[in-house]
Amino acid sequence: MPDLSDSDNQSRSAVGCQRFVLPDAELWLWPRWLDAERSAVVMQRLQQQLQWQQPELRLFGNVVSIPRQQVWMGDAHCSYRYSGVTFVPEPWHPLVQKLTAWVNQQLNQRFNCVLLNLYQNGSEHMGWHSDDEPELGLNPDIASLSLGQARRFDLKHKHQQYQLSLPLQDGDLLLMQGPCQQYWLHRVPKQAQASSARLNLTFRYIEKPL
Ligand SMILES: O=C(O)CCC(=O)C(=O)O
Ligand SMILES: [Fe+2]
């Protein structure tokens, strides 16, 4: 088992980090932030050890299962409501907690909850949305770590003709900053040629109520 605390990952200013300055958003990408060996271990353990769920959501009046599996995890106060359903967080899995601490240290963040998404193959996907739930506050920073099968991550501006696609590969860490969630949508589209599983973790911060 690779020691996840033995990090030689690059800091934010290091070579290898790509910065995308967009209208109304800023993105940072650290390709291969997690090396292939660590990534494979993390992916295998989390696939096996988490209680993956496929909740039903109400979308435009219809009740449908989400086209992927997910786990909502974090500090106890981090309940999260979207599409008419409230998700109470699972307690921290030690490996997810370690990754979160690691991301926080390297990105100078204080993420305290994580949405884990498991896409078994290219037919599983996530539609256009913004992570703009009120719990996250205005202009939240959101980091996303991708493991396994490479998938396309699309972004499009809500009011202007801007679009962007990033191929997110095994081990890549992406940070969305600025008013990205207010002005942009993002999605993971279906991709027929993607035959194996991808696990994605999005790190978020929810303030503790007084
Ligand atoms: O799987 C991904 O890369 C995107 C996940 C995402 O957008 C989300 O969890 O809100
Ligand atoms: Fe999202």
User: Residue 46 falls within a domain, yes or no?
Assistant: yes
Asked whether residue 3 is assigned to any structural domain, the reply reads no
Amino acid code (one letter) for 147: L
Distance 61 CA to ligand 1 centre (A): 23
* 144 in any annotated domain: yes
Q: Which of 96, 133, 152, 153 to mutate to test the pocket of ligand 1 (most atoms within 8 A of CB)?
A: 153
- pLDDT at residue 46 tops 50: yes
In a domain, 1, yes or no: no
Mean pLDDT of 50-57: 94
36 vs 29: CA distance, rounded Å: 17
Q: What's the total number of domains in the chain?
A: 1
CA 143 from centroid of its chain's CA atoms = 6
ipTM surpasses cut 0.95: yes
Domain-embedded: residue 103: yes
CA of 142 from ligand 2 middle (Å) equals 8
pLDDT of residue 4: 53
> Coil, strand, or helix at residue 178?
coil
Judge whether 12 lies within some domain: no
Tokens of 69: 């599996």
**Boundaries of domain holding 165:** 18-54+63-204
Longest Cα pair distance anywhere in the chain, in angstroms? 48
Q: Are 49 and 93 in contact (CB under 8 A)?
A: yes
> Would residue 170 count as lying in a domain?
yes
Cβ–ligand 1 distance for 126 under 6 Å, the answer yes
What is the rounded average pLDDT of the residues 154-178?
Answer: 98
Q: Does residue 7 lie in a domain region?
A: no
Q: Is 181 a pocket residue for ligand 1 (Cβ < 6 Å)?
A: no
Asked whether residue 75 carries a pLDDT value surpassing 70, the answer given is yes
pTM, rounded to two decimals: 0.93
Find the 88 Cα to ligand 2 centroid distance in Å: 18
3-class DSSP assignment, residue 77:
coil
**Would you state the pLDDT for residue 61?**
85
User: How much is the pLDDT for 16?
Assistant: 83
Domain with 173 in it: what CATH number?
2.60.120.590
Q: By the 8 A CB rule, do 126 and 68 touch? A: yes
